[in-house]
Structure 1
Amino acid sequence: MSRREVSRTDGAGTGRREGTGAQPSGQRGLGRLGLTSRAFILAAAVVLVFVMITPSLGVYFKQRSQLADLTAQQAQQTRTIAQLQDELKRWDDPDYVRTQARSQLGWVVPGETGYRVIGKNGKVLGAGAELDASGDTTGPAQTSQWWQKMVGSVRTADSPARTTGR
């Protein structure tokens, strides 16, 4: 026994220590804060686990974001494919082809009379061209049409510039 411990026995003959300065075995070290060494070790282990899984959680959330983006892109591409397939099916319809030939190329059915409206500047107002308030045209009719470029290209190829180098 140490100096501080006083041994007494009560009437039942059991030994009981009073006035000891010793703490129970679970509370060593940080007694006045109410923390035990086990609680300190548990807290350190929790912090260590948190530090170890934080990068993995960052990667997880980044991949979830990428997955959401890819899902949205896939849905958009699916819609685009459906629209293109629908347009392809329309080209199988002879009435649609006829309508497109009339509007885009200016074709007429035999027996019909075709008319072209000429604007103030002398250019033909065609499909997609619009008149603004001043009567000027806006739209595709202002630029030269592809067939006009093709005819000009054929004329240029038909009469090449002669070179004088022999």
Structure 2
Amino acid sequence: MAIRTASAAGSRPRFTGRAAMLALVLCSLIAALAYPTRQFIAQRADIAAQRAAAEQARARVEELRREKARWQDPAYVRTQARERLHYAMPGETPYVSVDPSAGQRSSDASAPTRGGARQPWYASVWDSVDTADRAVSAPPRP
């Protein structure tokens, strides 16, 4: 039996051909599995987003079913016609009160937007081109 000494064990190279091959195989596996793993994670996120969208769609369908059921009730339809369209039953006299100051406030707020909305945008662009052309074509004064 041979007894190894500390100097013999220390002279052995740490990075052998087997270790290099093992490192190469591990790097190849990591590189080969990186793209499928990324795709798997992205697909899982897409599935979660689709499930959330499906749940929202189910909730919207249920809300629309409840609204449809309300519109099947004649009393609800009558109430909505009175509120939205100002309908009145035969023999009733409908009154609509109008606040005169509300009309003045809304017309004052929309006055600046009406001035620019009189003509389309392309007409104002063409007018500005005409104005610039007239300014250039005028003869210079001595």
Larger RCO: 1 or 2 (CA < 8 Å, sep 6+): 1
Q: Does 1:111 align with 2:91?
A: yes
Secondary structure at the counterpart of residue 96 of structure 1: helix
Q: Which has the higher helix share?
A: 2
Secondary structure at the counterpart of residue 95 of structure 2: coil
Residue of structure 2 equivalent to 1:43: 23
Query: How many residues are treated as equivalent by the alignment?
Result: 101
Instruction: List runs of 5+ in structure 2 lacking aligned partners.
Output: 107-142
Q: Which has the higher strand share?
A: 1
Instruction: List runs of 5+ in structure 1 lacking aligned partners.
Output: 1-15, 25-29, 121-134, 140-166
CA-based RMSD of the aligned residues comes to 2.9
In the TM superposition, what are the counterparts of 1:62-73 in structure 2 within 5 Å?
62-73=42-53
Q: Deviations over 1:44-102 (max 9, x none)?
A: 21111111111111111111111111111111111111111111010111110000110
Tell me the amino acid that sits aligned with residue 32 of structure 1.
P
Higher alpha-carbon Rg: 1
Residue of structure 2 equivalent to 1:147: none
Tell me the amino acid that sits aligned with residue 84 of structure 1.
L
State percent identity of aligned pairs.
Answer: 29
Q: Take 2:35 and 2:85, find their aligned partners in 1: how far apart are those partners?
A: 62
Q: Take 2:55 and 2:24, find their aligned partners in 1: how far apart are those partners?
A: 46
Q: Take 2:3 and 2:61, find their aligned partners in 1: how far apart are those partners?
A: 88
Q: Please, what TM-score do these two structures have when normalized by structure 2?
A: 0.60
Cα deviation, residue 18, structure 1: 8.6
